[in-house]
Chain A
Amino acid sequence: MEHLTNKDFTSDQEVKWCPGCGDYAILRAMQKALPNLERKKEDFVFISGIGCSSRFPYYMNTYGFHTIHGRAPAFATGVKLANPNLSVWQITGDGDALAIGGNHFIHALRRNIDINILLFNNEIYGLTKGQFSPTSKKGIKTKSNPHGTTDEPFSPSDLAIGAQGSFFARVVDTNPKLMQQIFVEAESHRGTSLIEILQNCVIFNDKTFAPITAKEVKKDAQIVLEQGKPMLFGAEMNKGIVLNGFKLEVVTVGENGITEKDILVHDAKEQDPTLHAMLARMRPPEFPAALGIIRAVDRPTFDEGLLAQLEYEKENAKFNTVDELLQSGDTWEI
């Protein structure tokens, strides 16, 4: 197979996001990640809905379809079912996926169709100029609720786990290496891979993730979970996560008799999602925000199930042409 580079995945269209937008870093990370997948360029398809993030397919030199608001999972499902050989990527935002498209989002996860969903979560509506979104922090003041929202925000990880999602990862737009790595791993997961990207909107919600991503705090405010490794973080890598009764807790190795052995070891492959959900909910200042692959479990996929039925029926049916169907059953001659 010919070796591809990030240039092969760069389209000739001028990128039109605002200067400083987190989307640029995500686009670059994707263009760098895809050559690592050792797949033909023509087998990648990017499907998006509506919103700033959904312009993404125009900038990828692959097959792409910028569809309608909220419905991208349904288009992506049709693409994957029609040609299961394709690598299908859905690009969406918090408004597109969780407000207008909430229904399709949960059903894609429930079916576990083999697609990758990149959820650009900036906790705001960008393209429509600054209204609150279903992930906006409660109380945020925006044009559409100048007195502060009274809406309780959605937690994408809880939605995904509640919908029996088999893969949930989280990355930040300030860590391109981690993004590249997770994009590659998402593609190799069979089933719906949901990647939540904490993405900064410089215009309407600047620094909303600063408590997680700011240089001066990030080492203590982030933990990158790795399969089989203890959950350690911090500038000194001496802070860890333990389970105390029904609750997670941050401890320091070497204090109060805590040793590395007491620290939880990450297991994204555990079928029981309870701990995954708890980890995904962690937020500063009490906890570091969990990044990396939080959940990746094996579960049958919708597309494989359908294909298996098709194969079985083709092999076991009494007929396999339309003419035979038309002649089947009760007929009579005149």
Chain B
Amino acid sequence: MDKTTQVVDLEKVVIKFAGDSGDGMQLTGTQFTDTSALLGNDLATFPDYPAEIRAPQGTVAGVSGFQIHIGRIDINTPGDIADVLVAMNPAALKANKNWIKKGGTIIVNIDTFTKRDLEKAGYETSPLEDNSFEGYNIIQAPITKLTREALKDSGLDGKSIGRSKNMFALGIVYWMFNRPMKQTEKFLEKKFAKKPEVVAANIKVMHAGYNFADTIEALPSSYTVLSANLAPGTYRNVMGNQAIAWGFLAAAERSNKELFLGSYPITPASDILHELAKHKNLGVKTFQAEDEIAGICSAIGASFTGSLAITTTSGPGLALKGEGLGLAIMAELPLVVVNVQRGGPSTGLPTKTEQSDLMQALYGRNGESPSVVLASSTPGNCFDWAYMASKITLEHNTPVVLLSDGYLGNGAEPWKIKSTKDMPEINPSIAVEGEEYQPYARDEKTLARKIALPGTKGLEHRLGGLEKEDVTGNVSYDPDNHEKMVGIRAEKIKRIADVIPDQQVFGKEEGDLLVIGWGGTHGSLYSAVDNLLADGEEIALCQFNYINPLPNNIETLLSKYKKIVVCELNSGQFANYLRMNFQGTIFNQYNKIQGFPFTSSELESHFKTLLAK
């Protein structure tokens, strides 16, 4: 298609699609993401959807959004605020009014700005007719009407026609950013392979949107975001939950283990179960259990029998799994528990992100029951941390809790495809037939015991949750033995610090301010620190992935900065953990508990204040 308008190059742009939860905004956003990725943009995405499957139509509570940040340059966050907002109804406009850049472009479906829909959104008068959006570039597109018009001869019923209007919006945005529609056409052909009339209708509507944008004069120019300068290689898009699933598959293959997942559906972790359930061809056994407890317990049973066993959940599920996790710690069996964190406490904010399960992961069990705790920090590195969690658990025969969060789990980014042979070796610690076996004899260096698998001749033994006698593993109520075993279980975790790499920083090796983060806040912290480094500030970012044990060089590292600020999406759990471990060091805090990630700009301005003092 010929472009009739001037094309402007952009470094980066943030686009948000917002509409009713039934408007197909997640699909629209995903399509725009995939097309942009194939054009070589760097990107990051952030889906933001309500907990209710279908909240009342037209209300602010029912607004579903998908934000995408694409760029020619390094993109680390889905962007603080949008340059372009697509609002499919008044509620979508209202829900996002503070998240659109002053003077940005807003595409509204003007057909929904009726008295009734305005009222549902809580507007007395149309915000487009007062001064609410003065200075913005508002494009009033009759999306509903034009979609109906385009499909009037399609033979589709009114409901199906109504469902295609997201494609009109996508067409407009494709035109704005000079993107080809081929990718989405291919996607539609595959998705609706059995319904050619639906494929044709959606494609027709998308083209109608594209042509509408090309025709109207309200759009002064279209924009291009060129390919990013990423390291050479083969890339694909991955979402965090998908990458976690793949990391486990890779670890199972490298360790010659069968992968077993025992899990119970829970937002936002279910996609890991969905992803693994697809890959029975790779030998993975997935078991959708009757509850969270059966999820972890079946995994422990599989681990006892020799699988690489995992269970996946979110905060409330981790609470239910506490007793099972304690047993795995006592029985010293390999197990990875993935917690894709969400807003808490209780049911909390199921579809929003938070980092408030750190203490639960570290201490949320009866007795003194230390667990390894790791945290992934980008959608792509969820692959690596699932792999590392598997390696540690299989080599040290102790459970690992891997913390991700809703933001990472549902977020996508281009990922340079790894090869399993580039991943480190995994050497599970297993006793073999013929060897002298004492269930609780230990490796001198790591203190890991060896496990013996049912079916191995001559190594029959009993495990359990009652305190174990040192070396033999028999039940023991001896007071001195108990104290010794509590000490051994703690020391075993501590010694893992000797086999993990030193903590690295991004930025200055020493200086005025050390920004500390952990897990999923990496993108926004990195962007903020990167900007301040460009301004010449003596600043660095220290993003933790190893939470327990901490790497061995932290004390030295902390001493090299005049000020330290710990930023996290909770009230200060990691800051308190560091205070406990490094008494005497002053840790400032920057916290946010709104169910949303940090924005780089709020971080940057806070760091500037700290640097100025």
Chain A residues with CB under 8 Å of chain B are: 11, 13, 40-43, 45, 47, 57-58, 60-68, 71, 73-83, 85-86, 103-104, 107, 306, 309-310, 313-314, 316-317, 319-323, 325-327, 329-334
Contact = CB atoms under 8 A, between A and B. Distances in A.
A331 B460 contact: no
A53 to B, nearest CB: 14
A42 B37 contact: no
Q: Could you say which interface size class chain B belongs to?
A: 35 or more
B424 interface: no
Nearest to B298: A78
B262 interface: yes
Contacts of B233: 333-334
Given A77-B301, A330-B237, A68 B294 contact: no
B125 interface: no
B537 to A, nearest CB: 31
Which of B183, B253, B298, B307 has the most chain A CB atoms inside 10 A of its CB?
Answer: B298
Interface in B282-334: 282-283, 285, 287, 289-291, 293-295, 297-307, 309, 323-324, 327, 331
Given A42-B457, A78-B302, A66 B283 contact: no
Contacts of B66: none
A314 B464 contact: no
A43 B299 CA distance: 19
Interface string B252-295: 01000010101000000000000000011111010101110111
Nearest to A61: B460
Nearest to A310: B280
Given A42-B456, A75-B301, A78-B299, A325 B306 contact: no
Contact of A43 (B38, B183, B227, B454): B454
B454 A45 contact: yes
A78 B235 contact: no
A265 B510 CA distance: 88
B250 interface: yes
B122 interface: no
A71 B294 contact: yes
Contacts of B453: 83
A309 B280 contact: yes
B234 A68 contact: no
B442 to A, nearest CB: 20
A74 B40 CA distance: 46
B463 A326 contact: no
B56 interface: no
A321 B253 contact: yes
A184 B299 CA distance: 28
Given A57-B462, A65-B462, A310 B287 contact: no
Given A64-B462, A333-B234, A75 B454 contact: no
A78 B309 contact: yes
B417 interface: yes
Contacts of A331: 234-236, 417
A73 B283 CA distance: 23
A333 B34 CA distance: 14
A329 B262 CA distance: 27
B79 to A, nearest CB: 22
Which of A78, A104, A309 has the most chain B CB atoms inside 10 A of its CB?
Answer: A78
B262 A11 contact: no
Contact of B37 (A71, A86, A313, A332): A332
A68 B465 contact: yes
A103 B40 contact: no
Contacts of A320: 281-282
A45 B304 CA distance: 10
19 contacts: A63-B461, A65-B462, A67-B300, A68-B327, A75-B300, A76-B301, A79-B454, A82-B302, A104-B297, A107-B294, A309-B280, A313-B281, A321-B420, A325-B246, A330-B237, A331-B235, A333-B232, A334-B227, A334-B233
Contacts of A86: 305, 454-455
A329 B302 CA distance: 31
A103 B290 contact: yes
A40 to B, nearest CB: 7
A82 B307 contact: yes
Given A42-B457, A82-B302, A317-B281, A74 B289 contact: yes
B216 interface: no
Given A62-B460, A64-B462, A68-B323, A74 B293 contact: yes
Interface in B404-429: 417-421
Nearest to B459: A42
B475 interface: yes
A78 B462 contact: no
A277 to B, nearest CB: 23
B291 A103 contact: yes
Interface in B107-159: none
Ranked nearest first, the 10 interchain pairs of A and B with the lowest CB-CB distance are A78-B301, A66-B464, A317-B281, A74-B297, A78-B298, A82-B305, A74-B294, A75-B301, A64-B462, A82-B302
A1 to B, nearest CB: 12
Contacts of A107: 289-290, 294
Nearest to B462: A64
Contact of B281 (A13, A74, A81, A319): A319
A203 B327 CA distance: 30
B230 interface: yes
Interface string B222-256: 00000100111111110000000010011001000
Contact of A74 (B34, B237, B262): B262
Contact of A334 (B235, B303, B304, B327): B235
Nearest to B421: A323
Nearest to A8: B460
Contacts of A306: 285, 287
B441 interface: no
B229 to A, nearest CB: 9
B474 interface: yes
Contacts of A73: 294
Nearest to A9: B460
B103 interface: no
A40 B454 CA distance: 11
B298 A75 contact: yes
Nearest to A103: B290
B196 interface: no
A40 B235 CA distance: 50
Which of A68, A322, A323 has the most chain B CB atoms inside 10 A of its CB?
Answer: A322
Contacts of B193: none
Nearest to B433: A42
Contacts of B430: none
A264 to B, nearest CB: 36
A69 to B, nearest CB: 8
Nearest to B466: A66
A88 B457 CA distance: 16
B191 to A, nearest CB: 14
Contacts of A58: 462, 464, 475
A36 to B, nearest CB: 19
A325 B279 contact: yes
Given A83-B455, A334-B235, 5 more contacts: A42-B456, A66-B463, A74-B289, A78-B287, A86-B455
Interface string B539-567: 00000000000000000000000000000
Nearest to A59: B462
A306 B38 CA distance: 37
Nearest to B307: A82
Contacts of A316: 281
B235 A65 contact: no
Given A65-B462, A82-B307, A47 B301 contact: yes
Nearest to A40: B457
B423 to A, nearest CB: 10
Contact of B417 (A61, A75, A327): A327
A74 B456 CA distance: 22
B458 interface: yes
A81 B475 contact: no
Contacts of A45: 305, 454
A148 to B, nearest CB: 32
Contact of B260 (A78, A327, A334): A78
